[in-house]
Structure 1
């Protein structure tokens, strides 16, 4: 898909940038936060957070305008969406049922994936001069029920190249959210935890500014939707109660332990992170390696999985070997 063709020797690595650019575009249009991502040669992982609360704050005209950026009636000479006309906007606004459906779709994860897959499939088929299905199957989606599963899944996604022996470190893992954040951070002098929190919420980041900040500080951050003024992403709301520096250092330590095949002593300042989710270092490293095999339709602690099963009308949810303790 995005690697080297074994028969012709032709490289399709440039398609990984196609996918990354498409994700960045969608983050600026949809009411969905991209928390992190990884694009490999034959598949991709994305951690998304639906934000219907953000979409509710948009006017009818804004909903129509954003929809027309996704599915433009006209395009510029360079192929980019043309600015929608008033008549095109009014055609959506003046149809309440259509408008309501468009508003709903703008925070629907399935529509995010559709907008990725269709765009990349068309471009790739055009490049290959062929037609037909480009993707092997439909995307798989897991619901993340708590911060423990969110932290583990984010690490699983960011460390995918390390686990696959494609890269040795997070900073060497191309086309990952972690790599983008590390690249931006390397250009910054002040790397204290407090200053990094404010910087993550600012609009000055280059490569990673379209993704959500790592840290959410309930004492300092705005209550409610907290929309992004620059328009590069839906909001400035973080998703973990740890700093970006601690997250990246946890990734670095975890990646080293996974490569070594065993979990040694964790740095003292990172140990409380694992303590909060009830895991010791070996259990944490094992979870990051096996996340995709442990969880299927939903991920979380035993307690939260039981609640989700009840909500769905089931007796239980499959999570073989779930190491997350009851919160």
Structure 2
């Protein structure tokens, strides 16, 4: 029987270790240092650097490249070997939880994708999602200018569990983010607190499971220009207002590629909106910070 652990050892880890070794070596680490950190022989490191490893399927290789880049960056910034191991283990579990690795593992092991998904379905860490969203929300509200970005319908900030099935699997701000005494104000995040933003993340999970967080802010021409200058990959949709098809229209561009933000042009009596997306709420806040930086360097957002 070929368990997920056997699959990872045979098909994923050799290429993943090789890419991490290559990135670390290109960044200036010696083969000896890489060997000691990764717990493999220097001869194996040399083999990896010589390109002697099996290439996985193209789609899987791209995903492994992303994980290798994240882990390598963590290592180069001084992360401990223990913490790097924990981070890597979490990322691999998330790839199974999202169903991505199940597509490849099911063929390797000769079992159904559904059987693979059932192995990891119980690992749904609600506490971690709430903790991360609450911290990111605190950072977001710390921006002095954020109140200027809250639309008339108010903002919400959401973060989903891996493979969310409905609003009950997505944490968001109850009652949305509003303005009190001239400053942005929000209650602590809760699961099931938003129907619309939760619906966006649930819909995205079907084909872009890595995108698990979203924040909506108001739209203006200046904001659109600032996003372009900040290097955002932006899609524009016209929902005609928040009708029953709005969620599908907002998420549809992601079927072809990943976007940093989506502009909804709104409709009659419905204000246009910008949705900023990320893998987690910290990435969303970082994108908002970049937007503010470029906006302040050119012009102030319209009031």
TM-score (norm 1): 0.27
Decide which structure has greater strand share: 2
Which protein has the bigger helix share?
Answer: 2
